[in-house]
Amino acid sequence: MRAVDFDLPDEDDPRRLEVRAWLQAHPHPSPRDLARAGYVAPHWPAPWGLDADPVHQILLDDELARAGVKRPSGGIAIGWAGPTLLHAGTPEQKRRHLWPILEGEVWCQLFSEPDAGSDLARLATRAVRDGDEYVVTGSKIWTSGAHRARYGILLARTDPDQPKHQGVSYFVCPMDLPGITVRPLVDMTGQHLFNEVFFDDVRIPADHLVGEENRGWTLAKVTLGNERISLSGGGALWGGGPSAFDLLDVVRRQGGTRDAVLRQRLAQLYIEADILRLIRLRTVTAAVRGEPPGAEASVRKALADRHGRTIMNLAKDLAGPAGMLAGTGPLGAEAGPWHHGFLFSSALEIGGGTSEVQRNIIGERVLGLPHDIDVEVGRTWASARVPEPAERRQ
């Protein structure tokens, strides 16, 4: 059976010609130009997107890549906040936030807490209604980009008497409100990616509530159905950084290796990378055919995060003992991204839902094993795409 059961539109497809004409008129498009053309999130509805079906999205990717045009990177704003606002935001919230999001405004995700990670429903940050405001008290942790973000999407408990999955509300939180303290957490790569965020009687205007009070849990699960379709797999570090194929290229450029064990490991790496590539193509094929997403997305995340670590460990081993110092060893000047990747790659199996939790979900929802614990949101986003038993492909 073919892995990809569709053909990309011809070179003279009118949708291609339209993009090319636009690019001629905008040879160096700004983020604003790209946003207004609907090219940043083409799968979003008009006027923010083009209601683009998967083939149209791939075609657009193709044309922009050929022209060397980069879109504003999506992150939490385009991947999470935007789709949630599209789904449940008021007209005013959409008007206020969606264009800046498409133009590259930075948002953060204020979900995890010191005692609520995989089991996010244990979150304890409180939001108490007081007139036209909610008063928020508590703390969040591991908040990527909070120090740069203009807004955050915040989950807070509005009714502690309800069961833990209920009584939670979803807010848009301006990060410059009085009472918010952002404290840096420097990770072992040396970078300041995430933060602790403290809320000390922070007053959020009530019109920043998204959807209904106490119904935030459902909203937190909304977004991935709206995922953008792309043929490109990107790098091993959550779409960024180098990939297995990049490492194999480096090894070839450096003359290869006759070391029997390293050869085995390199071949194994290639096998994993190819399996992941095929899984991605199957996912795209299903989307193009309009089929419900299968178990591939969950399986892919569980495999891809481990694969990322394998790539970086192998790169480090290839560099030998000197590889413990950045920029040295057999990878020489090429070592930079691998050194960073090695240090960062442990995060792959934690962030966005740990590998253990991911496998638990596959066990429960794909294999039909008994229920383990409540791990329903955020941490399990790939699982949002796993079909009900009746829809499962054999």
Ligand X SMILES: Cc1cc2nc3c(=O)[nH]c(=O)nc-3n(C[C@H](O)[C@H](O)[C@H](O)COP(=O)(O)OP(=O)(O)OC[C@H]3O[C@@H](n4cnc5c(N)ncnc54)[C@H](O)[C@@H]3O)c2cc1C
* Interface with ligand X (CB under 6 A): 108-109, 111-112, 117-118, 142-144, 194, 347, 350-351, 353-354, 356-357, 360, 372-373, 375, 379
Q: What is the largest CA-CA distance in the chain?
A: 72
The residue (of 57 and 143) whose beta carbon lies closer to ligand X is 143
Q: How far is the CB of 375 from ligand X (least distance, A)?
A: 6
- The answer to whether the beta carbons of residues 76 and 154 sit under 8 Å apart is no
- The answer to whether the beta carbons of residues 328 and 335 sit under 8 Å apart is yes
Q: How far is the CB of 352 from ligand X (least distance, A)?
A: 6
Q: How far is the CB of 240 from ligand X (least distance, A)?
A: 12
The residue (of 85 and 229) whose beta carbon lies closer to ligand X is 85
Beta strand extents in 84-150 (DSSP E only): 107-110, 126-130, 133-141
- Which amino acid would we find at residue 374? D
The residue (of 118 and 310) whose beta carbon lies closer to ligand X is 118
Tell me the C-alpha distance between 320 and 193, whole Å: 28
* Burial class of residue 45 (count of CB atoms within 10 Å of its CB; 0-12, 13-18, 19+): exposed
Residues with Cβ within 8 Å of 45's Cβ and at least 6 positions away in sequence, in order, are 51, 86
Tell me the C-alpha distance between 68 and 66, whole Å: 5
**Residue 214 phi, psi dihedral angles, 5° rounding:** 70, 5
Residues with Cβ within 8 Å of 365's Cβ and at least 6 positions away in sequence, in order, are 295, 298, 383, 386
Tell me the C-alpha distance between 350 and 118, whole Å: 9
Q: Which residues pair with 156 in a beta bridge?
A: 169
227 classed as catalytic: yes
* Burial class of residue 2 (count of CB atoms within 10 Å of its CB; 0-12, 13-18, 19+): exposed
Q: How far is the CB of 278 from ligand X (least distance, A)?
A: 27
Q: Which residues pair with 153 in a beta bridge?
A: 109, 172
The residue (of 318 and 347) whose beta carbon lies closer to ligand X is 347
**Residue 89 phi, psi dihedral angles, 5° rounding:** -70, 155
The residue (of 54 and 353) whose beta carbon lies closer to ligand X is 353
Q: What angle do CA 79, 288, 66 make, to 5 degrees?
A: 70
Q: How far is the CB of 305 from ligand X (least distance, A)?
A: 11
Task: State the residue number with the nearest CB to ligand X.
Answer: 117
Tell me the C-alpha distance between 72 and 204, whole Å: 28
Q: How far is the CB of 112 from ligand X (least distance, A)?
A: 3
Determine which one of 63, 105, 227, 349 is catalytic.
227
The residue (of 39 and 142) whose beta carbon lies closer to ligand X is 142
Q: How far is the CB of 111 from ligand X (least distance, A)?
A: 3
Using DSSP, state whether 116 is helix, strand or coil: strand
The residue (of 3 and 373) whose beta carbon lies closer to ligand X is 373
Q: How far is the CB of 195 from ligand X (least distance, A)?
A: 9
The residue (of 228 and 379) whose beta carbon lies closer to ligand X is 379
Q: Where are the alpha helices (DSSP H) in 320-378?
A: 336-344, 355-361
To which H or E segment does residue 314 belong?
Answer: helix 296-319
Give catalytic residues, as residue numbers.
227
